[in-house]
Amino acid sequence: MSQPSKVKATWIWDLDEMEGSIEDNIEFAEEQEVNLIYLHISIKGLDRERVKAFIEEASAHNIQVYALGGDPNWALDKHQDSLSTFISLVRNYNQDVPNEAGFKGIHMDIEPYLLPEWDAARDEVIAQWMGNVTFLRQEVEKTGQDLQLSGDFPFWVNDLQVPGESESLSSWMLSQLDSMTIMAYRDYTEGRNGIKHIASPLIEQAANQDKSVVIAVNVIKTDEGSYTTFYDSAPGQMEQELNGLNQSFSGHPGYAGIAVHDYSYWKLYRNKE
């Protein structure tokens, strides 16, 4: 099972807190031409019937759903058991439901640069992160369920090196994953430091490895600078910028599509129009 040829993705972090019915939420996703949803699953367990109903509704509208897991600690060796628990949860769920209700992939949001260890022992954290991604790859393959494996990365992952090697960390990650989603959080496409500028090195790198990346933008309210989110932008501006992005990379083999973080804020943003 491969991801859609031209991705338009979004994240759902809490299915239980979403307003409206499952049908209404899928209808909004379809209106935005979404064809891939990263749905967060807690290692504490999932509401099987609710998740099943959601994925079945999404499948009926040609929307794939990946199981989303997120924890900076998952970059560290000592939390490998937690990673294994997550994969087992997805595997067991998929075994118990029809194909149209199953997850089609695993999507990881690990972000170890949020850990205190990142500044103190960066190379060691990167080495453990790499080890856990290798472990993830193996665990996903063991499921025998043809699951895609993808993950979120900051645009500057290309500036990080594999410890002791000349290879960039982004190149190594591309070799291990089926897809990377790059958090190119800017509210403008063109110009220096715009989405196109900061994403281009990774688009080129992906193409050179016969891979592709999804470019993500943010619509959440944040204190990281207004230029990093479309939250306060005029209605329709995000769509205009993303159309420009699609045109800029049209036909490029390293470009898989776009993602909007996240669904709940995207819905609020569109309701301003």
Inter-residue contact 182 to 216 (CB < 8 Å): yes
pLDDT for residue 2 is more than 80:
no
Three-class secondary structure of residue 123 per DSSP: helix
In the chain, the N- to C-terminal Cα span, in Å, equals 36
Summarize the confidence of residues 12-26 as an average pLDDT: 94
Q: Is the dihedral of CA 130, 132, 138, 143 positive or negative?
A: negative
Among candidates 85, 15, 76, 93, which has minimal Cα distance to 44? Answer: 85
Distance CA 89, CA 53 (A): 17
Three-class secondary structure of residue 42 per DSSP: strand
Distance CA 39, CA 61 (A): 16
State residue 273's pLDDT score: 60
Inter-residue contact 41 to 89 (CB < 8 Å): yes
State residue 235's pLDDT score: 77
Instruction: Give the CA diameter of the chain.
Output: 51
Distance CA 229, CA 249 (A): 21
Interval 176-189: pLDDT, tens: 999 999 999 999 99
State residue 19's pLDDT score: 87
Q: Is the dihedral of CA 114, 231, 13, 84 positive or negative?
A: negative
ω into residue 16 within 30 of 0, thus cis?
A: no
pLDDT for residue 17 is more than 90:
no
Three-class secondary structure of residue 136 per DSSP: helix
CA distances from 240 to 30, 60, 187, 194, 237 (A): 18, 28, 11, 14, 5
Distance CA 192, CA 204 (A): 17
pLDDT for residue 5 is more than 90:
no
Interval 170-219: pLDDT, tens: 999 999 999 999 999 999 999 999 999 999 999 999 999 999 999 999 99
Amino acid letter, residue 256: A
Q: Where do we find the tokens 């099987």?
A: 48
Three-class secondary structure of residue 221 per DSSP: coil
Three-class secondary structure of residue 249 per DSSP: coil
Domain boundaries, the chain: 7-271
Residue 45 per-residue DSSP state: B
Inter-residue contact 54 to 41 (CB < 8 Å): no
Residue 267 per-residue DSSP state: H
Residue 250 per-residue DSSP state: T
Q: What's the mean pLDDT when you consider all of the chain?
A: 96
Q: Indicate the range of 14-18, 65-69, 123-127, 225-229 predicted with least confidence.
A: 14-18
pLDDT for residue 1 is more than 70:
no
Q: Which CATH number fits domain 7-271: 2.170.120.12, 3.40.50.2300, 3.20.20.80, 3.30.70.260?
A: 3.20.20.80
Summarize the confidence of residues 26-49 as an average pLDDT: 96
Distance CA 197, CA 261 (A): 19
